[in-house]
Amino acid sequence: MIGNLSLMTILYRLPALFVGFTFHEYAHAWVADRLGDDTPRLTGRLRLDPFAHIDILGMLMLLIAGFGWAKPVQVNPGRMRGRHAMLWVSLAGPLMNLIIGFVFTGILVAMLFYGAYGNIWYNIVSEMVSINLVLCVFNLIPLPPLDGYNIVKNFIHPRNLKAMWTFEKYGPLLLMALVLLGFTSGILSNIVGFLLAHMVELFVWLFTLLGL
């Protein structure tokens, strides 16, 4: 047991963590590279190697405490083309997790249609859905150092950016306090549940329509 997790739950969850963290950070790196910044390429982040992106302590914290992190992708905004380049780089990670969650929701519904409920593959796919949706929603919280903060920051007038420095300094502590005190868990559960319910409805409708 680790915390309240059984060994089997950890084994089901690990593939989802590897996939979720790796593709999330790779998406940041890929978009930055496409927009003209070769920093991710030069630092070895433009590859789908889990060990290039995963922070072992961050992954263990996600298993134990419900929040974690990967190695942040270093980028140089000055090398990127376009006024809103950092907006697209910041959006790329959560969007990738949403896409993965959507695809695996389809697989999960297909497994239910064909009676594959409760086996090892069903449990792994189920974790793939939930972990990726949690990573998507959690990273959109508008607190530093999360992607949501960088997205909001993109719309702040340059003359007000200095006022954000203090917030950036203490924001991570505020985020950690909110997570440890449980303030984020209810919000995450509600949003993830909402997304999952509607994606399941979509795939059930689609499979029924196709007569599968």
- Amino acid 1: pLDDT: 40
Q: How far apart are CA 72 and CA 62, in angstroms?
A: 16
Do residues 20 and 131 touch, judged by C-beta distance below 8 A?
yes
- Amino acid 198: pLDDT: 95
Do residues 15 and 124 touch, judged by C-beta distance below 8 A?
yes
- Amino acid 212: pLDDT: 64
Which residues does 2 contact at the CB level (< 8 Å), separation at least 6? 10, 63, 64
Q: Would you write out the chain's pLDDT as a tens digit for each of its 212 residues?
A: 444 568 888 889 999 999 999 999 999 999 999 999 999 999 999 999 999 999 998 888 877 766 778 999 999 999 999 989 999 999 999 999 999 999 999 999 999 988 888 789 999 999 999 999 999 999 999 999 999 999 999 888 777 777 788 788 888 899 988 888 888 888 889 999 999 999 999 999 998 888 76
Active site residue 25: yes
Q: Which listed residue (25, 127, 168, 201) is catalytic?
A: 25
| Stretch (H or E) spanning 102 | helix 85-113
